[in-house]
Chain A
Amino acid sequence: MTNEADATPVSGQVQPPARTSLRGLIAQTEIDLRLFGMLVALGAILLTFNILSEGKLFQPTNMVTLAVQATGVAIIATGMVLVIVSRNIDLSVGSLVGVIAMTYALLMTDWMPALGIGADFPFRWAIALGLGIGLGALVGGLQGYIIAYVGVPSFIVTLGGLLSIRGVVWYLSSGAAVSGLDPSFQLIGGGAQGSIGGAATWILGLVGCAAIVALLVNGRRQRRRFGFPVRPMWAEAVIGVLGCVAVLGVAAFANANLWPEGLANRIAVEQNWGPAPDGGWKIPTGFPNPIVLLIGVTLVMTWMANRRRFGRYVYAYGGNPDAAELAGINTRWTILKTYVLMGILCALAAAIASARLNGSTLDVGQSYELYVIAAAVVGGTSFAGGIGTIPGAVLGAFVMQSLAYGLSFIGVNSPGQNVVAGIVLIVAVGFDTFNRRRGS
């Protein structure tokens, strides 16, 4: 153990006494206890429903479906954290998802062909996605401008957005459902072919492990460079090993999900794979594309929140708007940017939703705003401002989705699921409030 040598004493730095209690040991690892508690709660929920469903829930295909269903809400929740942290709200996300989903559908069925961008045009899916993201950023930016620069309360602006944007969806398609997206665009929604496959999943898992180790090593080197106290070596090892095991475990689980036999046989014939091996084709799907997208969004958003000035300003404004202003921060521009970000995230969620539907209907994204806010709040975001984490909100989305999915799995109908979701929301926030009050 190199504890003493590592921690070069800094002026006035009092070394914490060696602690042997469990609480002390956990404190030394500097693990975020809130997040850890949520992971435990999520595990408990899944385990309970697995037992109630006699082991069916933990079948890979069910778990993958559950995860994919959570992605839309989880992606938007990462942005909602920043909006709520900066003492605002966005009620318009559901309608925005609806209008962008409809835009994707119409782009690929009507608008792009009318402009001569036919079905064979390369990267049509990317053009559609880019236009959708642009639309999201534009609408988000407009709402953000009215909130930050004109000064209309965000609740009002986005409530107006909720109503009027949903109305626009109807006008876009004259009330009709639109279907028939590009096959390549549909892959954004996941499914066997919309997954990255076994090898890529393992590679992603290994990259994740390497990243965890690199972060730990780099963090330790940084702290030693400036002579700050560092975590004991055993704590670093525990975090590293636990992190890698978790990442590789999830990858293994995703790879335990196999292509449906019928699809595998059909593709095998189409692409001349030769005769099926004994017991049929066993092709791992690996991570579905929407999960990969969610992982990417979570990483980028966490990086922006914790490592970039923009994130610091969002939290500073939420903690004390006057202080942020007096520190010379351009607070209006910061607020506007949070809404632009929300629009972009809505466009990504809309891509997943419309790809899964292979089209769009009038009510895509309906009530998303409520699920998204619930996910953020269950994930520890406080309406008082200044408090909330992005991984927490993603976990919150998974907690809420696990409850809904688990309940439906054991035969509880949708109104029953809503009753439970509502109660869980209140209990989770109540518990959190109690904990914080006791802690302060």
Chain B
Amino acid sequence: MTVAERTPLVEMRNINVAFGGVHAVLDVTVDLYAGEVIGLVGGNGAGKSTLMRVLSGAHPADSGEILVDSQPVTIRNPRDAKAYNIETIYQTLALADNIDAPGNLFLGREKTTRLGSMDDSAMESETRKVMGRLNPNFTRFKMPVRSLSGGQRQAVAIARAVYFNARILIMDEPTAALGPAETAQVRNLVRQLKDEGIGIFLISHDIHDVFDLSDRISVMYHGRIVDTVGKANVTPDDVLGMIILGKKPGEVSEKELAELELRTQ
């Protein structure tokens, strides 16, 4: 069965976002299938993060529609997105530094007792289970996450996204702040989640990450999608060219190519 015959997990159609007069996202259409990783690449300010913030409910789109399992949905805030099992790992991690790991993992979705009080023991227990998978050496469950290392904080942010049965996962620069060992760990995790049938949007500056993990690559340039290409059909140089020039490989003139080679040397 080819990809085109299945229904996409999520489709974003003709999405527009403008900040004042600046079009951050301009008529963008993307789709994502179960078990697929889409690498979303582009220069700074290309609109990748803004596009994903629309999907995660952090910022409303000015126009366009979103379909989950082919059904049109309205995502007004992060709660709506989470209701459709869309989970996001933000570049900033979005952790409350003064609260411990279980508190952050369950933030906004606390486990409660019958009387409506928070069930801290149950939350800590669940956190120990999920962190045991992601970062087995982690023991500081009672410490504010402020006192954790970058990798540990990342693990908490990832744990939060995967714990709640994400079907659609948005990862915004998940390895930007990590060392080599932790980066490898995150890459393994992405493959594992993909095998479990989760659809992943992966925003990354690292072209190697993208080629290593993605099935398809969407290149954004000044708010538009330049092209969405299968990984097998392009080379990293083609993608770099699209990122920098905002044109598909066939449309690039010899002159531009020469300039590009000068710039990348």
Q: Is the CB of B88 within 8 A of A326?
A: yes
A13 at the interface (CB under 8 A from B): yes
Q: Is A318 an interface residue (CB 8 A)?
A: yes
Q: Is the CB of A226 within 8 A of B98?
A: no
Task: Choose among B82, B117, B138 the residue with the greatest number of A CB atoms under 10 Å from its CB.
Answer: B117
Which segment of B120-128, B176-184, B191-199, B243-251 sits at the interface? B120-128
User: Measured between alpha carbons, how far is A13 from B139 in the docked complex, in Å?
Assistant: 6
Contact A11 B136 (CB under 8 A): yes
Which stretch from A104-112, A183-191, A290-298, A305-313 is at the chain B interface?
Answer: A305-313
Tell me if B60 is interfacial: C-beta within 8 Å of chain A: no
Chain B residues with CB under 8 Å of A315's CB are 96, 98-99
Which residue of chain B has its CB nearest to the CB of A323? B94
Other-chain residue from B57, B90, B109, B132 in contact with A11 (beta carbon distance below 8 A): B132
A309 in contact with B78 (CB, 8 Å)? no
Contact A323 B103, beta carbon cutoff 8 Å: no
Residues facing B in A190-228 (CB within 8 A) are 222-223, 225-226, 228
**Distance in Å: Cβ of A425 to nearest Cβ of chain B:** 23
CA distance A387 to B96 in the complex (A): 11
Chain A residues within an 8 Å CB radius of B88: 326
Quick one: given A12-B138, A14-B139, A308-B118, are A328 and B128 in contact (CB under 8 Å)? no
Contacts across chains A and B counted by CB atoms under 8 Å? 94
A126 within 8 A of B: no
Min CB gap B144→A, angstroms: 8
A303 to B77, CA, bound (A): 29
Shortest distance in angstroms between A75's beta carbon and chain B's nearest beta carbon?
Answer: 23
Given the known interface contacts A312-B118, A322-B92, the answer about A11 and B128 at a Cβ–Cβ threshold of 8 Å is yes
Per the bound structure, the CA–CA distance linking A419 and B12 in Å amounts to 64
Chain B residues positioned under 8 Å from A309 (CB to CB): 110, 112, 116, 118
A397 to B39, CA, bound (A): 56
Chain B window 106-118, contacts with chain A (Cβ cutoff 8 Å), 1 for yes, 0 for no: 0111101000111
Write out the residue numbers on chain A whose beta carbons fall within 8 Å of the beta carbon of B92. 322
A65 within 8 A of B: no
- Cβ contact of B78, chosen from A228, A308, A312, A328, cutoff 8 A: A328
Q: Which residue of A is nearest B160, CB measured?
A: A327
> A320 to B118, Cβ gap below 8 A?
no
A12 x B139 contact (CB < 8 A): yes
A324 in contact (CB, < 8 A): yes
Residues of A within 8 A of B125 (CB): 226, 228
Question: Does A329 lie at the interface of the complex (its beta carbon under 8 Å from any beta carbon of B)?
Answer: yes
Question: Which residues in B have their C-beta under 8 angstroms from that of A223?
Answer: 121
Specify which chain A residues have a CB less than 8 angstroms from the CB of B109 in the assembled complex.
327-328
Closest to B135 in A: A12
The reply to whether the CB of B212 lies closer than 8 angstroms to some CB of chain A is: no
* SS class, residues of chain B in contact with chain A: loop
Q: Does A379 contact B (CB under 8 A)?
A: no
Bound together, the chains give a CA A239 to CA B241 distance in angstroms of: 67
Name the A residues within 8 Å of B98 (CB-CB).
Answer: 315, 318-319, 386-387
B235 within 8 A of A: no
Q: Judge whether B58 is part of the interface by a CB distance below 8 angstroms.
A: yes
B121 touches A228 (CB 8 A): yes
The residue in chain B whose Cβ has the minimal distance to the Cβ of A85 is B98
Which residue from chain A places its CB closest to the CB of B113 in the assembled complex? Answer: A307
Contacts A10-B128, A307-B118 given: A328-B95 contact, CB under 8 Å? Answer: no
For the complex formed, measure the closest distance between the CB of B77 and the CB atoms of chain A, giving whole angstroms.
Answer: 7
B137 part of interface (Cβ distance < 8 Å): yes
Residues of B within 8 A of A13 (CB): 139
> Shortest Cβ distance from B29 into chain A, in angstroms?
25
Using an 8 Å CB-CB cutoff, how does the interface string of A371-390 with B read, 1 for contact, 0 for none? Answer: 00000000000000011000
Determine the chain A residues whose CB is within 8 A of the CB of B146 once the complex forms.
Answer: 440
Residue B256 lies at the interface, judged by CB distance under 8 Å to chain A = no
Assess whether A12 is in contact with B137, with CB atoms less than 8 Å apart. yes
Q: Report if B97 contacts A (CB, 8 A).
A: yes
- In the assembly, what is the distance between CA of A329 and CA of B99, in Å? 15
Residue A325 CB within 8 A of the other chain: yes
Q: Taking A226-B124, A228-B121, A308-B118 as contacts, is the C-beta distance between A326 and B90 under 8 angstroms?
A: yes
Asked whether A322 lies within 8 Å of B94 as measured between CB atoms, the reply is yes
Q: Are B110 and A225 in contact (CB under 8 A)?
A: no
Query: Is A316 part of the contact surface with B, judged by Cβ < 8 Å?
Result: yes
Q: Is B79 an interface residue (CB 8 A)?
A: yes
From A14, A225, A226, A319, give the contact of B96 (CB < 8 A).
Answer: A319
User: Quick one: given A13-B139, A316-B99, A320-B95, are A325 and B124 in contact (CB under 8 Å)?
Assistant: no
Contact of B94 with A312 in the complex, beta carbons under 8 Å: no
Contacts of A440 in B (CB 8 A): 146-147
A324 touches B118 (CB 8 A): no
A228 — which chain B residues lie within 8 A by C-beta?
121, 124-125
Residues on B with C-beta less than 8 A from A328 are 57, 77-79, 82, 108-109
Note all chain A residues with C-beta closer than 8 A to B132: 11-12
CB distance from B25 to the nearest CB of A (A): 19
Which residues of B are found within 8 Å of A329, using beta-carbon distances?
Answer: 107-108
Specify which chain B residues have a CB less than 8 angstroms from the CB of A319 in the assembled complex.
96-99
Question: What is the CA–CA distance of A11 and B132 in the complex, to the nearest angstrom?
Answer: 7
Q: Which residues of A contact B104 (CB under 8 A)?
A: 323
A61 to chain B, nearest CB (A): 40
Closest chain B residue to A221 by CB distance?
A: B121
Asked, given contacts A307-B118, A308-B117, whether A316 binds B107 with beta carbons under 8 Å apart, the answer is: yes
Give bound CA distance, A274 to B58, whole Å: 76
The answer to whether B136 and A323 have CB atoms under 8 Å apart is: no
Give the CA-CA distance A226 to B108 in the complex, in Å.
Answer: 23
**A332 to B: closest C-beta gap in Å:** 11
B positions within 8 Å CB-CB of A: 56-58, 77-79, 82, 88, 90, 92-99, 103-104, 107-110, 112, 116-118, 121-122, 124-125, 128, 132, 136-139, 146-147
Known: A323-B94, A386-B97. 20 other contacts (CB 8 A): A11-B136, A223-B121, A226-B121, A308-B118, A309-B110, A312-B110, A315-B98, A316-B107, A319-B96, A323-B96, A323-B104, A324-B107, A326-B58, A326-B90, A326-B94, A327-B107, A327-B109, A328-B79, A328-B82, A440-B146
Q: Can you give 6 A-B contacts (C-beta < 8 A)?
A: A12-B136, A226-B121, A315-B98, A322-B92, A326-B94, A329-B108
The 4 closest A-B pairs by CB, nearest first: A319-B98, A319-B96, A327-B108, A386-B98
